[in-house]
Copies of this chain bind each other. A is one copy, B any other.
Amino acid sequence: MIVILKHNAQQEQIERLKAFLTNLGLRIDESRGDHSTILGLVGDTTRVDADLISSLEAVEAVRRIQEPYKKANRKFHPEDTVVDCGGVPVGGGTFQIIAGPCSVESEEQIVAVARAVKAAGATLLRGGAFKPRTSPYAFQGLHGDGLRLLKLAKQETGLPIVTEIMDASHLDLFADVDVIQVGARNMQNFELLKVLGRTDKPILLKRGLANTIQEWLMSAEYIMAGGNERVILCERGIRTYETATRNTLDLSSVPVLREKTHLPILIDPSHATGVARLVKPMAMAATACGADGLMIEVHNNPKHALCDGAQSLTPDEFADVVRRVRIIREVAK
């Protein structure tokens, strides 16, 4: 960590600051220039509050050199983490495809979709039982019933299930869920992250709507700091000024994360684009830049499409995507 002192900082203020920093167990290397003096802090700065330091009268700015995350940091954990998801390994050179409907609607629907995506090559089943909806008047999911139906579909197909939690108080209902998803809007719901950090379930942590890669890794760190190191990251598009797509899929995050962390990285092209026609090209691109897998929405009833989301593929479209990404995966490895 670097502390840049103000031009006109008083010696007494500087001394008080240095004493404070030394008390934190840090060594101070000082560099005096014509217009500014810089303190280089050597030691464990993870727990230093940069906002606090930068508030001091004598300080112009503070810059972190070390990343503020440890357990998620590849520097301290060079090997890829492989997360066992109900028998399916995610990360570490594997490539997994999670597929299923936006919402669980009925036994018939979820079992049919589960069979179709399994036949097409999916290795995990997704389906929403608790749905975060912008409007209080929109369908919020089948809740406990939805989780029960997912379990049925798992029994029918053997596919482990991935589904979203929206509140820590619902955790008991997730006992038979293989991977618990934290949605974009809850990426910084720190109380929920802490509770999940005390479970032993794999956690699929989606990137927040407008969160930086560093904030995302800090949210992973919340879960890991609680003892649960089974975290999977999933990029689903970020908010930008462009409105041609629902979000802007930030695929560069894949190689950036690969350097910074050992955790597996998935891409959700369905939510990122919000348009079914864009899912195939973006799934292929995600695979080409090195993602560890994909999460794709598939529906089963193209003819009566009134109940399916704008971003869902038919099983046939999905099968075509799987076939192509498997080839690209070989080139991208």
Using CB atoms and an 8 Å cutoff, list the residues of chain A in contact with chain B: 2, 4, 7, 16, 20, 29-36, 38, 40, 42-43, 46-47, 49, 51-52, 54-57, 61, 63, 65-66, 68, 75, 132-139, 166-169, 185-186, 188-192, 194, 208-215, 218, 221-222, 225-226, 238-245, 248-256, 259, 272-274, 276-278, 281-282, 284-290, 305-312, 324, 327-328, 331-332
Q: Report the bound CA distance from A55 to B277 in whole Å.
A: 10
Q: Report the bound CA distance from A75 to B34 in whole Å.
A: 12
Contact between A288 and B284, CB atoms less than 8 A apart: yes
Q: Report the bound CA distance from A60 to B191 in whole Å.
A: 34
Contacts of A285 in B (CB 8 A): 251, 285-286, 288-289
Contact between A4 and B241, CB atoms less than 8 A apart: no
Nearest neighbor of A188 in chain B, beta-carbon distance: B185
Contacts of A238 in B (CB 8 A): 240-242, 248
Contacts of A135 in B (CB 8 A): 46, 68, 218, 221
Contact between A52 and B309, CB atoms less than 8 A apart: yes
Jot down 24 A-B pairs with beta carbons below 8 A, ordered by A. A2-B38, A16-B306, A31-B40, A31-B42, A33-B43, A36-B65, A38-B40, A52-B310, A55-B310, A132-B190, A136-B221, A136-B225, A189-B189, A209-B209, A209-B211, A213-B242, A240-B250, A244-B256, A245-B252, A248-B250, A249-B251, A255-B282, A256-B278, A282-B289
Contacts of A2 in B (CB 8 A): 2, 38, 63
Given A240-B250, A245-B252; 19 other pairs, CB 8 A cutoff:
A29-B30, A33-B42, A49-B138, A55-B308, A56-B305, A68-B135, A167-B168, A169-B169, A189-B189, A209-B209, A238-B248, A240-B240, A244-B253, A251-B251, A284-B288, A284-B289, A287-B288, A328-B328, A328-B331
Cβ-neighbour of A40 out of B20, B33, B138, B211 (below 8 A): B33
Contacts of A190 in B (CB 8 A): 132-133, 136, 166, 185
Query: Nearest Cβ distance between residue A21 and chain B, in whole angstroms?
Result: 10
Cβ-neighbour of A288 out of B139, B249, B281 (below 8 A): B281
Query: Nearest Cβ distance between residue A320 and chain B, in whole angstroms?
Result: 11
Contact between A212 and B241, CB atoms less than 8 A apart: yes
Nearest neighbor of A209 in chain B, beta-carbon distance: B210
Contact between A310 and B137, CB atoms less than 8 A apart: no
Query: Nearest Cβ distance between residue A296 and chain B, in whole angstroms?
Result: 15
